[in-house]
Amino acid sequence: MSFDIPEIIGAVRREVRHGERDGQPTRIVVATRSYATDIDDLWDAITNRERLPRWFAPVSGDFRLGGAYAVSGNASGTITLCEPPKRLALTWEFAGFVSWVEVDLASEGESARLELRHIAHVSPHWDQFGAGATGVGWELGLLGLYLHLFSAGGEKPPESDPAWAASDEAKAFMRAAGDRWGQAEIAGGETEDAALRRAAATKAFYCGEA
């Protein structure tokens, strides 16, 4: 697998927003990317249980509003909003913690734009790793989606290939994404020292150097 890392990294717009949920402060990690396909195809790619393993992971469950789902080897939760082909929201329950994922799709000329928001309460995990812990993980998914839509080889998620995950290319991708999420934190109001410290911890974790 080989691709233009600056081009892939540059295709994603990153934001870190501050919010509140259930009376507690939250951080909202926002990743936005456009794909050269129509909104119906993009919706199908992110909701079709037969396509999901080809770029993300196997997902089981009841694919309807109020239905429960489970991502193989990862999170589970409940679908809280489903408005095809524009809006999807769900709880993200992992390691005893609950956070929330919202996805909005919109037509954009001959392309379709995906905005993903992952909302979590501020926690020691955030204090250690910051936005990159979530952001880099989702960027691997957005990369897999790009390869699925536009590459003949995009029939499985990149991170599911141990050889690629351990490669210099993968590490360069994750370091570049980690750096960008650190900058997004700074743009969102975080101090430079704290944001860069968290970005360094995130990069070390994803690159197996922690």
Q: Is the pLDDT of residue 168 over 80?
A: yes
Tell me the one-letter amino acid at 115. Answer: E
**What is the total count of domains within the chain?**
1
CA distance 108 to 114: 10
Average pLDDT estimate for 199-204: 98
Structure tokens belonging to residue 9: 């990294």
Average pLDDT, the chain: 95
Provide the CATH number for the domain around residue 149.
3.30.530.20
pLDDT digits (tens, 9 = 90+) for 72-102: 999 999 999 999 999 999 999 998 999 999 9
Q: Which domain holds residue 40?
A: 5-206
